[in-house]
Structure 1
Amino acid sequence: MPHDRSTPTPNRRRMISLLCGVVLTGTGLIACSVEGSGDRVSDQSNAQSSPAQGREPVAERYGTEPRVLSDVDRSGIEVSELFFPDAPAAVIATPEPAAQQRGASIALAAGLPLLTATGTNGPALAAEIERLGAGEVLAVGGAAVELPETVTVHTDDGTPAAFEALTGRTPNPVTPDNTPVGLLGQITALNAGDLLGAVPAEDPVVADTGAENPTGTETAVGTEPDSPTPSGGNLDRLPTRDRDKGRAPLVLAAPGTGIAAVATARAAGADVEVLEYADPRVSEHSLELIRGLDGEPVIALGQLFGDSEHFTRTTELARTVTAEQPGGGQLVFPGRRMVAYYGHPSGGALGIMGERTPGESVAHLNELVAQYAPLSEEPVIPAFEIIATVASGSPGPDGDYSNEADPEELRPYIDAITDAGGYAVLDLQPGRARLIDQAKIYTDLLKLPNVGLALDAEWKLGPDEVPLQQVGHVQAEEVNEVADWLAELTADNNLPQKAFVLHQFQLQMIRDRETIDLEHPELAFVLHADGHGTAGDKFATFDALRQDLDPRYFIAWKNFIDEDTPMFTPEQTMEITPRPWFVSYQ
């Protein structure tokens, strides 16, 4: 169970440190397309970074609007449907990594779609083979699918000799980079003879020639080139497809995109860019690609890009927003990690940030940032989480049990962290007030490109509640109200993405969390785990809060200077899995 802080102390200090992620760099890409009726594959360098002047137009079937192919089952069928109006043959592989890599190598060399047999999608695969009009299917990795009698199924034995027989290319062994980005990037850069995971014939990558197909004719390819083969004879060469009229569009992929989806798009002649995060704003390179489309469509592969409406909005923001985050870029995360001090200008009783002047706090914080810098692959920047509204034990003149700071009182700290190249987050402890009403007090500060917002549900009270008597809570509906307003403010003022931080250390603190609307590309949703105590207590809270958490949240972690026993060192903090993007000190 998570650590229960049902009796919070008025002097306990909070701080949030945001750790940010990877900055994308573009990969040099080589597109694969089939020309004429032969099996020759042409190398086509990536030219998507500049407008399409002087190039043939994108084929009409791709439309003109940004689009997401979610490929939920990672079968590649949805991608094949768009990129291949027809094909004389197709490659079907099992989901195992070795089969996927080999299937991708063959499909790219032959210019054919790669499909994945998931074990439950047999009818969908059969329907796609029929739609393609494919008369030949190569089964890789023991893939077994019931296909029409008119389809001849050949079984690949995984040897280099079979690859050469199937593609007419002498195999060039390529060692797979088994990181998600690395492997997908390798597939986008494969040359026609490259064979991922290639090994000597005596130790085949995929050694299974016993795939069964009750209706199709089976032949084994490459087991022993000179030996007799089953009925139907050996497949001398996979048939290839004539090149389409018109180009394929720019395609984006990211960790979570299926291998079959990337290989199929590449085999159709598309340039595929593998992003380190599923958002076209993730790097300067990806921003340049979107801005250089000149009215042409862009296709995203994988459900992590959101639906087509969400993706269209992110591409629009990529084209129109010019303001940047500290250190550059449009996204809060990934791209940097943040280490923050938490507090209020009134003094140290409300957090470490208030123990010093703004300039002194920045200098002190930068010493801590320097300890984190060598532990992170991403730049680490300083941050302040400033308590803008402070929960109070008395109702005050407005009766809401919360004292709202004058925005100008907070500005010196925002100016100091801005001058240091850092980020500021305004924290709301609303008492009985409505969160949206308090957020609007700080509209002018939130119009700054490096100022985000945090909601502190611990201090959100019911009509008969007072601070320190219970742990508060907020309904998802009220969170959505603030998120809608903040996203609109961000968009209307042409601002880069804003951090939207939700504090939580008990499950009850954010009611119906699963109904929070995350479809705001203007916001980076951050879940801040606020548990304190022993390491066991903190991890119990951390693990409970992450149960069933939408992967679109970025994780934040808090180190309590006085209440943790002992407080985690920077090294220990950065060893937490998943590694937090925002680390705060209170």
Structure 2
Amino acid sequence: MLEAATAPEAAVAVSAHLLSSSPSVVVAADEPAALGRGAAVAVGLGVPLLLPGAATAQEVRRLGAEEVLTVGPAAATWAEQALTERGDPDVEEAGDPRPAPAEGGAGTVVLVTGAPWEAAAAATARAAGAQVLTVPSGDPRADGAVVEALHTAAPQHVVGLGPAFAAQDVFASRVEVAVTGVQLPGGGQLPLAGRRLVALYGHPGAASLGLLGEQPLEATLERARELASRYDGLDERPAVPTLEIITTVASGSPGPDGDYSNEADPAELEPWVDAAGEAGVAVVLDLQPGRSDFLTQAKLYESLLRRPHVGLALDPEWRLAPDQVHLRQIGSVGAQEVNAVGDWLAGLVREESLPQKVFLLHQFRSSMVRDRDLVDTTRDELVTVVHADGHGTPGMKKTTYGVLTAGGPPGLEWGWKNFLDEDRPTFTPAETVAVDPSPVFVSYQ
């Protein structure tokens, strides 16, 4: 990543990074008309475009330029005042632009946000033969077109310009993921970037546990797509069909292992997970661990979580203490256990260079996630969602949602569950979107 706070600094930074020398330099006044013409001249000649600034004269000398071509009166005035040392290049007004050559090879890619102050730096990058890609958010994983372009380019060197891009280690990791070209359902590599996941909740073949289990696999995928389509056009977020699969199901009896949880065989879920991915449907695996713990159970499904489109949900209602039983007590989990799972899952993402994953916490009481303000939401590999899954009247649900969204660490996203039978009445898609804050993960049970 190149650090630059101003347009002249950015132009110098890119020039210094990409070029060891140049016979000519174009210096343009920092105003739209001059910048546009200066960029055309510089790219046509294959030389850097610089702007009047404190470090510009030094960069001209470092490049060993024999001439400086100016565009605009302010650039000419600057050159007369700044290039006065013995051996400084000749200064003259730039001529007409030459036709720009075809975009350079894939050896170097420079990422910019598209801000006006980057114009000269971007022109210098193009003149040096680099490919320039615009990443408004500063995260190359956010845009499917950028991901595809980076994958196609297979660059040897990628540079991010300016403070919008992350620190070097995070930036390098993001680029490594983007270059894989893997795209999530809905495009890009950030599951909640400008979109909303709309999910069928339940367990395959178990109609009593939710909508997901009420029909066979192909019909489930079609139902998920139809449900998500009801949210399209309600706001600026397109909807992505999703399956939230209860992977370990809370049990009223201890079972052979004594943990009050029935763990599904990963091989039985594999056809559902893979078919969803092929159909452009996201997947979240939901854990109800009973007297086991979330990390132990999550590791059972590592093979599925290595799929790019698969996230993870923790359901603390069903996380029991050693002396508790389901439906007699409501379970809970502490931040330490949540963070242990998050650390493990983030490590898996790094190991496989995977897109960011949804990391979802179900909650309808504050007591269900103890010390929630200590939950780590800073992992770049995960997006953490608190999912309000209480049922009842609209007033009850809104009150619960208000309490849950009032606290917690910065960086949390918010989810909402609609119950077709228990809610009185069930929120419509428009009513769901209108909840404040508008949920980015909506599930149906």
Q: Is the 8 A contact 2:375 2:409 kept in 1?
A: no
Instruction: Tell me, yes or no, if structure 1 residue 295 matches structure 2 residue 157.
Output: yes
Give how far 1:283 is off: 0.6
Instruction: Tell me, yes or no, if structure 1 residue 43 matches structure 2 residue 40.
Output: no
Instruction: Tell me, yes or no, if structure 1 residue 318 matches structure 2 residue 178.
Output: yes
1:282 to 142, 162, 181: 142
Q: Is the 8 A contact 1:344 1:351 kept in 2?
A: yes
Quick one: distance in 2 between partners of 1:416 and 1:311? 32
Q: Is the 8 A contact 1:529 1:556 kept in 2?
A: yes
CA 1:56–1:344 in structure 2 vs 1: closer, same or farther (change >3 Å)?
same
2:360 to 490, 501, 508: 501
Helix, strand or coil at the partner of 1:533: coil
Give how far 1:353 is off: 1.2
**Residue number in structure 1 paired with 2:305:** 446
Instruction: Tell me, yes or no, if structure 1 residue 476 matches structure 2 residue 335.
Output: yes
CA 1:56–1:384 in structure 2 vs 1: closer, same or farther (change >3 Å)?
same
Unpaired runs of 5+ in structure 1? Answer: 1-28, 48-52, 60-82, 88-166, 170-191, 193-236, 254-261
What are the within-5 Å matches in structure 2 for residues 137-216 of structure 1? none
Quick one: distance in 2 between partners of 1:485 and 1:46? 51
Q: Letter of the 2:157 partner, please give it.
A: G
Quick one: distance in 1 between partners of 2:177 and 2:146? 12
Q: Is the 8 A contact 1:336 1:381 kept in 2?
A: yes
**Residue number in structure 2 paired with 1:344:** 203
**Residue number in structure 2 paired with 1:360:** 219
1:413 to 269, 272, 283: 272
Give how far 1:306 is off: 5.9
Q: Is the 8 A contact 2:177 2:354 kept in 1?
A: no
**Residue number in structure 1 paired with 2:393:** 534
1:576 to 427, 431, 435: 435
Give how far 1:539 is off: 1.5
Helix, strand or coil at the partner of 2:233: helix
Unpaired runs of 5+ in structure 2? Answer: 1-6, 13-25, 40-44, 57-71, 89-109, 124-131
Q: Is the 8 A contact 2:287 2:294 kept in 1?
A: yes
**Residue number in structure 2 paired with 1:94:** none
Quick one: distance in 1 between partners of 2:30 and 2:190? 43
CA 1:362–1:40 in structure 2 vs 1: closer, same or farther (change >3 Å)?
closer
By percentage of residues, which structure has more helix? Answer: 2
RMSD: 4.1
2:254 to 372, 395, 404: 395
Listed one character per residue, the Cα deviations across residues 339-385 of structure 1 (whole Å, up to 9, x for unaligned) are 21111124222112112222222233333223222324343232111
Listed one character per residue, the Cα deviations across residues 73-119 of structure 1 (whole Å, up to 9, x for unaligned) are xxxxxxxxxx97579xxxxxxxxxxxxxxxxxxxxxxxxxxxxxxxx
Quick one: distance in 2 between partners of 1:453 and 1:342? 13
**Residue number in structure 1 paired with 2:99:** none
CA 1:251–1:548 in structure 2 vs 1: closer, same or farther (change >3 Å)?
farther
Q: Is the 8 A contact 1:331 1:497 kept in 2?
A: yes
Relative contact order: is structure 1 or structure 2 higher (C-alpha 8 Å, sep ≥ 6)?
A: 1
Q: Is the 8 A contact 1:392 1:403 kept in 2?
A: yes
Aligned length: 369
Quick one: distance in 2 between partners of 1:309 and 1:570? 40
Q: Is the 8 A contact 1:38 1:240 kept in 2?
A: no
Q: Is the 8 A contact 2:356 2:380 kept in 1?
A: yes
CA 1:39–1:393 in structure 2 vs 1: closer, same or farther (change >3 Å)?
closer
Helix, strand or coil at the partner of 1:281: helix
Quick one: distance in 2 between partners of 1:86 and 1:40? 19
CA 1:553–1:241 in structure 2 vs 1: closer, same or farther (change >3 Å)?
farther
Give how far 1:567 is off: 0.5
CA 1:277–1:554 in structure 2 vs 1: closer, same or farther (change >3 Å)?
farther
CA 1:85–1:347 in structure 2 vs 1: closer, same or farther (change >3 Å)?
same
Quick one: distance in 1 between partners of 2:81 and 2:403? 52
**Residue number in structure 1 paired with 2:18:** none
Give TM-score, length-normalised by structure 1: 0.55
Q: Is the 8 A contact 2:194 2:236 kept in 1?
A: no
CA 1:386–1:471 in structure 2 vs 1: closer, same or farther (change >3 Å)?
same
